[in-house]
Amino acid sequence: MQSSHVFHRQLLQDMPVAVSGKGITLTDSQGKTYLDASGGAAVSCLGHGHPDVIAAMHAQLDQLAYAHTSFFTTAVAEELADTLIDTAPQGMSNVYFVSGGSEAVEAALKMARQYFVEIGQPQREHFIARRQSYHGNTLGALAVGGNAWRREQFKPLLIEVEHVSPCYEYRDKRADETAEQYGQRLVAELEAAIERLGGDKVIAFVAETVGGATAGVLTPVPGYFKGVRELCDRHGILLILDEVMCGMGRTGTLHACEQEGVVPDLLTIAKGLGGGYQPIGAVLAQNRIVETFRKGSGLFQHGHTYLGHAVACAAALAVQRVIQRDGLLAQVRERGAQLQALFQDAFGEHPHVGDVRGRGLFWGVELVADRASKQWFDPELKLHARLKRAAMAEGLMVYPAGGSVDGRCGDHILLAPPFISTPDELAQIVHRLRTAIDKTLAGVPKLATA
Ligand code: PLP
């Protein structure tokens, strides 16, 4: 059943074989079922087997699967663009389709670079991003990403990137400062980095609005992104927000930046855009950037074979229609509050759960060896990976993050259940998670701390 030639599975030979999915449940070839509490990797926002999305894809396939964009556009791509722009942050009136998150980030980086070349500021060549961030695995995205472990062996990376601190309230806010003051301190750190590089040498600041895969969901403190936006404006630097993971409704608003009261210059989306039914991503761009291309060289110098793929667009359009028709953004907020209460009951007093943080249906759970000191477990234990295995044994999918990250380590898991999860399913998820955590910790020597 399992080929010896699949390279991406080489280290995980004992993987179960997924054969079907319905709602929030996946079933493997042995008939075992798993609650998809992470939506894969924060992808499956409508769960599995959604009839409306499948019908839309079938209808599109029957008509036309693919027409290359250098010859044709398609009605479905145009309609999806209109739908995304109708609900986009202010001033974002342009969409560039790609096939996934890394491609979206690459496209955004190139858009920003080309923009400054076209307006006569080619000397801007630095990006600033944050440590403990993840923006994808292609070389440009890896360069802006702030996870040293992922970057190290691929150095030198292709573009110059300076990294500043992430917004990590649980660990980095001092006891003598408010959340707002902590946010201002981070903005001051960014300002110092800009001044060091030269305000007229920086292209863009790149950040996930709500941090995802690397540190188990990092929510911004109040005022942080407003401060970042003002700073970028003062220096003429673009703000690129990466909402590949946290966007498309995951946090309870369509775009996470809506909750921060900021509008970026470029916004990357993917994952929940296609809901896992098709690979699709996009960059939403401010009009003035695209106008610069139109009036200048005439085009953004980019392109991929599958951009605007008709079936992918049909899937994404159907996902958007279901979210709107079924009022799923409000449901995400409501279920998010229920999930938070369930976490409080299950982990409020748990000696090894240091922090549970999130928004909507996007949550991170941080494990600690000692709650009072917030000391991490020894990274060699690879607790996050053990926990993933234990959760799978319980019939639960959670997304692990951990190991040493820029000299900081920790074990986190990320939960991103489908928007259609019922209260009972959420209760089951938290129950199984608690069981998996306790079983995992029971197998770990108590004093094995970092
Ligand atoms: N950006 C963020 C914030 C992500 O979380 C991810 C993937 O996890 C990516 C970019 C890369 O997306 P993809 O894996 O679709 O290339």
- Give which of 276, 311, 305 is closest to 63, Cα–Cα: 311
Average pLDDT over residues 139-154: 89
Average pLDDT over residues 390-395: 97
Residues of the chain above pLDDT 90, percent: 86
ipTM of the shown complex: 0.99
Position 443 scores a pLDDT of: 82
C-beta of 135 in contact with ligand 1 (< 6 A): yes
Is 407 a residue whose pLDDT tops 80? no
Average pLDDT over residues 96-115: 98
C-beta of 41 in contact with ligand 1 (< 6 A): yes
How does pLDDT run across 45-64, given as a tens digit for each residue? Answer: 999 999 999 999 999 999 99
Best residue among 102, 109, 208, 273 to mutate for probing ligand 1, ranked by most atoms within 8 Å of CB: 102
- Give which of 383, 441, 230, 313 is closest to 57, Cα–Cα: 313
Position 447 scores a pLDDT of: 46
How does pLDDT run across 203-256, given as a tens digit for each residue? Answer: 999 999 999 988 789 999 999 999 999 999 999 999 999 999 999 999 999 999
- Give which of 285, 331, 281, 325 is closest to 80, Cα–Cα: 281
Position 10 scores a pLDDT of: 57
Q: Which two tokens mark 330? A: 């409000």
Q: Cα–chain-centroid distance for residue 348?
A: 26
Atom of ligand 1 nearest to the CA of 136: 11
- Give which of 309, 255, 300, 252 is closest to 85, Cα–Cα: 255
Average pLDDT over residues 387-408: 84
Q: Which two tokens mark 368? A: 């600690």
Residue with token string 């920003």:
112
Flag the least confident range among 27-41, 56-70, 150-164: 150-164
What spacing in Å lies between the alpha carbon of 60 and ligand 1's midpoint?
27
Residues of the chain above pLDDT 70, percent: 96
C-beta of 146 in contact with ligand 1 (< 6 A): no
Position 12 scores a pLDDT of: 60
d(CA 230, CA 225): 9
Vertex 211: Cα angle to 285 and 165 (nearest 5): 100
Position 345 scores a pLDDT of: 97
Ordered by where they begin, the domains of the chain are 7-50+327-442 (3.90.1150.10), 54-325 (3.40.640.10)
What spacing in Å lies between the alpha carbon of 50 and ligand 1's midpoint?
23
Q: How many CB atoms lie within 10 A of CB 259?
A: 18
Q: What is the CA radius of gyration of the chain?
A: 22
d(CA 290, CA 268): 15
C-beta of 102 in contact with ligand 1 (< 6 A): yes
Q: Which residue CA neighbors atom 15 of ligand 1 most closely? A: 101
d(CA 198, CA 211): 27
Position 248 scores a pLDDT of: 98
Position 324 scores a pLDDT of: 98
Range 295-323 burial, b when 16+ CB lie within 10 A, else e: eeeeebeeeeebbbbbbbbbbbbbbbebb
Q: How many CB atoms lie within 10 A of CB 2?
A: 12
* Residue 129: strand pairing partners: 163
Q: How many CB atoms lie within 10 A of CB 103?
A: 27
Collapse the DSSP code of 50 into the 3-class scheme (helix H, G, I; strand E, B; otherwise coil) and give the result: coil
| Extended strands (E) in 287-387 | 353-359, 362-367
Best residue among 206, 245, 251 to mutate for probing ligand 1, ranked by most atoms within 8 Å of CB: 245
| Extended strands (E) in 39-159 | 92-98, 126-130
Average pLDDT over residues 85-90: 96
Average pLDDT over residues 326-342: 98
How does pLDDT run across 364-377, given as a tens digit for each residue? Answer: 999 999 999 999 89
Is 159 a residue whose pLDDT tops 50? yes
Is 435 a residue whose pLDDT tops 90? yes
Q: Cα–chain-centroid distance for residue 335?
A: 19
Q: How many CB atoms lie within 10 A of CB 156?
A: 7
Q: Which two tokens mark 87? A: 């609900």
Please give the helix or strand (H or E) that residue 21 lies within, else none.
Answer: strand 18-22
- Give which of 270, 220, 263, 214 is closest to 243, Cα–Cα: 270
Q: How many CB atoms lie within 10 A of CB 59?
A: 13
The rounded mean pLDDT for the chain is 94
CB 133, CB 211: distance < 8 Å:
yes
d(CA 213, CA 41): 8
CB 404, CB 441: distance < 8 Å:
no
d(CA 292, CA 299): 9
Mode of pairing for the β-strands spanning 25-28 and 33-36: antiparallel
